[in-house]
Structure 1
Amino acid sequence: MTSFWDDKPVLIAGPTASGKSALAVHLAEKIGGTVINTDSMQVYADLRVLTARPSLDEEARVPHRLYGHVDAAVNYSAGSFVSEATAALAEARAQSRVPIFVGGTGLYFKAIARGLSAVPQIPAEVREAVRGRLERNGVEALHAELAQRDPMSAARLKPRDRTRIARALEVVEATGRVLTDWHSEGQPPLLPPGQFHALFLAPEREALYARIDARFQAMLKAGALDEIAQLAARQLDPLLPAMKAHGVPPLMKHLKGEITLDDAAEIGRADTRHYAKRQFTWFRHQLPEFAWVKPEEARGWLEQELRS
């Protein structure tokens, strides 16, 4: 690494389709960095196209870690990410490379910069039992059960939020303690305060939404539908994270003949736009220490920040 660059880790966050990966590769080439995935969907081997993972060319230019290494049948968690990110961080430092964390998953960045709650792994049999009740009895019945066993979580969750209601019940059932108890016993941050550079790419909304729409169409042309057909053939639990990636549910409905491809694509584009909007809101409120930078100004901002 060239000596006039400082070697603090770099955190590059931002909404989907904002140009994070290209920026990370450019920076890694310039300063001698390792790109570490910080996106909860890009970990899945089954979803290279639909999650817009870095291209093979980009992966060949600089070291990339934590991309496409998890099977879609695995319920990959924030705790799993922290464990693997810790190892990737140590590896980069041992090689005298700058760790560059890049992605759009707010909880992962919060684990890096602020720490993580201490909720343990949920045994598979508990998860399957709760999800079985969800399928048999419906989400309203599970929400009513949660209101009896964890009133605080039930009050803050929407009554039809299947995933979070099931998760809260799984925690109570597996541990005998409610989520808020576990959240109060957190793990320390991966990186100490002040020991990293952090930015959030903040493009103009309309331009971003146009990029999202164009990218979804490009994904379809690049084989996203074939990718989803292979995933559908595995008949995995629909509550698994990989099965809820943006675009997966509507494209699966299309493959079943329930909706047209145009309708599926429109749902996928709309879901992705809504997700991008939530990313802006989440980072603004949860991680205000991230500097908000326009994409066209990000290279200059980073170079100024990293000069010793």
Structure 2
Amino acid sequence: MSLLPPAIFLMGPTASGKTNAAVYLKQHLPVELISVDSALVFKDMNIGTAKPEPAVLKQAPHFLVDIIPPTSAYSAANFREDALALMHEITARGNIPVLVGGTMLYFKSLVSGLSGLPEADATMRAQIDAEAAAIGWPGMHAKLAQIDPETAARLMPNDMQRIQRALEVYAIAGETMTQLHAKQQAQTLPYRVLKVALIPSDRSVLHTRIAIRFQQMLNDGLVEEVRVLLEKYPTLTMDSTSMRCVGYRQVLEYMQGQYSLEELCDRGIFATRQLAKRQLTWLRGMDDTLALDCLDAQLNTQVMKAVQNFLL
């Protein structure tokens, strides 16, 4: 029996019923909910994010909802730090953290940690390439062997791309790839986790749900919500992280006169379906998941049963 405390991941594509299932768990078990959604972190973005209604959030509070203005950015690293702190607090209260949402990169950051590898730097690469032109890639490999013998041992002397990357990482980070990977491996999640994946048995039914929901968002005033956001936060642009959320980008393009209201609806539905497809691809690649049919009329009961069996 593991001595690690339990945690539940409730994952699935958009419109799969995650919120309802999480609220049902909250009503019946000693759990607390943490949102795993890169759109729900933003204040004043309610309709297009399908944010749970205030009454629902009062009944079943979600951490990490409405925490930053839409002019700010929130990364997977921010999420990991916040979520781990919350999970620790919830466990200390004798409750079980349930992490519910569809931002798969956030789930991955929790399970696998963050590599901490720096972004590519064109200037640094040009310097490395210039040095390689002078002494050759075997010479650069020998240089890497002095800095990071473990990485060099795994690479052939003519493996230009990987040698270049390893030297670039060291030049930028001041640490070797070996050191950074060791840090990542030390970021193991200190919980025993039940990963529940809500997967549709019929993708076309999920597509219909998505279409109905996006049309309802428009009926509920999504375009007006974006107008108000632009007035309240004048620095918002198409490039703002918040405005890259599915639905909001399409509304901005519509407001710029790029297409009609009918086309806005079609494009919003298409973009949401593409999001669902990416989410399902992530889920298929995730290890140790318990897949439940999100179209099952008894979904909430099925999720509850799975959690109870896990906690036995």
Q: Same fold (TM over 0.5)?
A: yes
- Find the counterpart in structure 2 of residue 160 from structure 1: none
1:284-295 matches, cutoff 5 A: 284-285=284-285, 287-295=286-294
1:1-16 map, 5 Å = 8-16=6-14
Q: Deviations over 1:237-277 (max 9, x none)?
A: 43332110001122112222232111112111101101111
Partner of 1:46, secondary structure, is: coil
What residue in structure 1 maps to residue 263 of structure 2?
Answer: 263
User: Is this contact kept in 1: 2:34–2:99, CA < 8 A?
Assistant: yes
**Cross-structure match for 1:45:** 43
Matches within 5 A, 1:1-308: 8-118=6-116, 176=172, 181=177, 184=181, 185-186=183-184, 188-189=186-187, 191-192=189-190, 195-203=192-200, 204-233=202-231, 234-285=234-285, 287-295=286-294, 296=296, 298=299, 299-307=301-309, 308=312
SS of the residue corresponding to residue 72 of structure 2 reads coil
Q: Residues 147 and 50 of structure 1: is their aligned pair in 2 closer, same or farther, counting only changes over 3 Å?
A: farther
* Structure 1 runs not aligned, ≥5 long: 1-5, 123-141, 152-171
What secondary structure, in the 3-state scheme, does the structure 2 residue paired with 1:259 have?
coil
Change (3 A) 1:105 1:32: same
Q: Determine if contact 1:113/1:192 at 8 Å carries over to the other structure.
A: no
1:83-115: CA deviation from partner (whole Å, max 9, x where unpaired)? 111222122223222211000011111122222
TM-score normalized by structure 2? 0.74
Spell out structure 1 runs of 4+ moving beyond 3 A.
Answer: 142-151, 180-185, 187-190
1:18 and 1:208 in contact (8 A); partners too: yes
Structure 1 residue 188: deviation in Å?
4.4
Give 1 or 2 for the bigger CA radius of gyration. 2
Amino acid at match of 2:240: L
Single out whichever of 11-20 and 47-56 deviates more from structure 2.
47-56
Q: What is the alpha-carbon distance in structure 1 between the residues aligned to residue 223 and residue 127 of structure 2?
A: 41
Contact 2:71 2:235 in 1 (8 A): no
Structure 2: which 5+ residue stretches go unaligned?
130-167
Equivalent residues of 1:81, 1:108 under 8 A apart = yes
- Single out whichever of 290-299 and 208-217 deviates more from structure 2: 290-299
Distance in 1 (CA, whole Å) between partners of 2:106 and 2:128 is 25
CA RMSD of aligned residues (A): 3.1
* 3-state SS, counterpart of residue 184 of structure 2: coil
SS in 1 for 2:302: helix
Write the letter of the residue equivalent to 1:202: I
Distance 1:26 1:283 in 2: 22
Q: Number of paired residues?
A: 259
Secondary structure class of the residue paired with 2:66 = coil
Equivalent pair of 2:8/2:195 in contact (CA under 8 Å): yes
Describe the shift of the 1:237–1:8 C-alpha distance in structure 2 as closer, same or farther (beyond 3 A).
same
2:147 maps to none
How far has the Cα of 1:12 moved from its partner? 0.4
**So what's the TM-score if we normalise by structure 1?**
0.75
Percent identity for Structure 1 against Structure 2:
29
* Cα deviations by residue, 1:163-195 (Å, 9 ceiling, x for unpaired): xxxxxxxxx89x8259x95973526456336x0
Q: Distance in 1 between matches of 2:292 and 2:225?
A: 34
Amino acid at match of 1:69: I
Separation (CA, whole Å) in 2 of partners of 1:224 and 1:270:
16
Amino acid at match of 1:198: K
**Structure 2: distance between partners of 1:187 and 1:244:** 32
